[in-house]
Amino acid sequence: MMAEEKRPVKITETILRDAHQSLIATRMTTEQMLPIIDKMDKVGYNSVECWGGATFDASLRFLKEDPWERLRKLRAGFKNTKLQMLFRGQNILGYSHYPDDVVEYFVQKSIANGIDIIRIFDCLNDIRNLQTAVNATNKFKKQEGRGHAQVALSYTLGDAYTLDYWRDIARKIEEMGADSICIKDMAGLLVPYEAEKLVKALKEGTKLPIQLHTHYTSGVAAMTYMKAVEAGCDIIDTAMSPLSMGTSQPATEVMAKTFENTPYDPEFDQNLLAEIADYFKPLREEWIASGRYSTKVMGVNINTLRYQVPGGMLSNLVSQLAEMKQEDKFDEVLEEVPRVRKDFGEPPLVTPSSQIVGTQAVLNVVLGERYKQFTKESRDLLAGKYGQTVKPMNPEVQKKALGDTKPITHRPADDLEPGLAKFEAECSQWKRQDEDVLSYALFPQVATEFFKYRDTQSTGVDSTLADKEDKVYPV
């Protein structure tokens, strides 16, 4: 290779968040994490993603753990490494829009308890849904001396998503005050040579660092990273080998080795990485033996590339049709998905838009008439209540869903009254720390059950509750 200037690729480790969320339904416990973080802290990662996404809900609901306590323990252990979280814009870590005061307070407490980098995304890539979280991060960065607002764009394919679209939105994200940009390819749709073009286009639109996040679902992820890094991508997301590949990320050791002795060499110590992998290997065996880690999420799901829809969405469609004993309609539904997506303004297919489009496609086919019936979520999407889509929606379909009600064109959260005081009052009986109001705001029922459990634990009353709860939620 020519004597090129060194441009080491930076690496974000995902084993403590996305990898176990993707492969074992987010069930890694804090106790399983803590013994190894001392070694992980020495690797030289750009950051360790370890919080947010589904981990918050899963901690409270399934593991009976306080997610805030987990964050504080990780912060105490990672003395040199930045901690990263995933944040769903105005949805925070939940599934609907929250008022601005709740979003801002969540950002404040995340940073105060130890988060450095907040990766913020919106399922429609409507940047109005990101602004409050970005502003809050910038505000508390000043106060706490820690914080970094990364905006993640949900990657998708379709007529609207040209290189001009990506270049343009990258520029807007820089203007809105973000510190970096991530391309978030949840489904593994970004193929290597397209990644090269995409990264070059983004680099034309912005000077911000570009991070790429993909999943191995469709089998191209490591090649995609290679082309992206060669094209100028600054940071990639990988997972230590015991929880890598399949629906997770490419393996950290493999990507580090791939770039060894090139200008992109991250200069990781392979012996140290091997020691970390050795720690997770017996856990991997346990998860496989218990059935928690299934062959369904391993290997390659080529249908993702054939149908250009996320793997999780395909399996949802299969199970929805199976419940109705209409499995023979699968091909028809697959053909209906892109039509519904067009009618709905061609949104990226990511939670929750993937479920909304998928369920409506099933209804359209199974009922034998398009849009005979709408789900509440379809109506809300058509009414603008999730935000603005990149293309206009089909006005006839909108009219059929909404009648004379006019769709909103403003930011959905503008309709929401401040909510913190109300949540504060509702959960005051259970509150043992400031952060409890945020757990309650996002998941009122689950958090209340957790608070009750926590109280019985500390008083020693009914310590069998955890076992009972386990049976309520089959694992």
Which stretches of the chain bind Co ion, using CB under 5 A?
18
Number of neighbours of residue 19 by Cβ within 10 angstroms: 29
Four-CA torsion 207, 110, 213, 163, nearest 10 degrees:
-40
The distance of closest approach from Cβ of residue 309 to Co ion in the complex, given in angstroms and rounded to an integer, is: 16
Whose Cβ is closer to Co ion: residue 147's or residue 310's? 310
Residues 381, 359: contact at Cβ < 8 Å? no
Whose Cβ is closer to Co ion: residue 18's or residue 377's? 18
Whose Cβ is closer to Co ion: residue 15's or residue 365's? 15
The distance of closest approach from Cβ of residue 293 to Co ion in the complex, given in angstroms and rounded to an integer, is: 17
Residue 280 contacts by C-beta under 8 Å, 6 or more apart in sequence?
15, 36, 240, 242, 243
Residues 21, 53: contact at Cβ < 8 Å? yes
Whose Cβ is closer to Co ion: residue 309's or residue 382's? 309
Distance CA 302, CA 36 (A): 34
Four-CA torsion 438, 441, 443, 447, nearest 10 degrees:
60
CB closest to Co ion, residue no: 18
Whose Cβ is closer to Co ion: residue 18's or residue 435's? 18
The distance of closest approach from Cβ of residue 23 to Co ion in the complex, given in angstroms and rounded to an integer, is: 11
The distance of closest approach from Cβ of residue 244 to Co ion in the complex, given in angstroms and rounded to an integer, is: 13
Whose Cβ is closer to Co ion: residue 186's or residue 333's? 186
**Pairing outcome for strands 10-13 and 235-238:** parallel
Token couple for 183? 């391309």
Helices 311-323 and 353-366, axial angle in degrees (round to 10): 40
Whose Cβ is closer to Co ion: residue 225's or residue 453's? 225
The distance of closest approach from Cβ of residue 213 to Co ion in the complex, given in angstroms and rounded to an integer, is: 6
Distance CA 458, CA 33 (A): 23
The distance of closest approach from Cβ of residue 420 to Co ion in the complex, given in angstroms and rounded to an integer, is: 29
Distance CA 27, CA 40 (A): 20
Distance CA 469, CA 452 (A): 12
The distance of closest approach from Cβ of residue 57 to Co ion in the complex, given in angstroms and rounded to an integer, is: 16
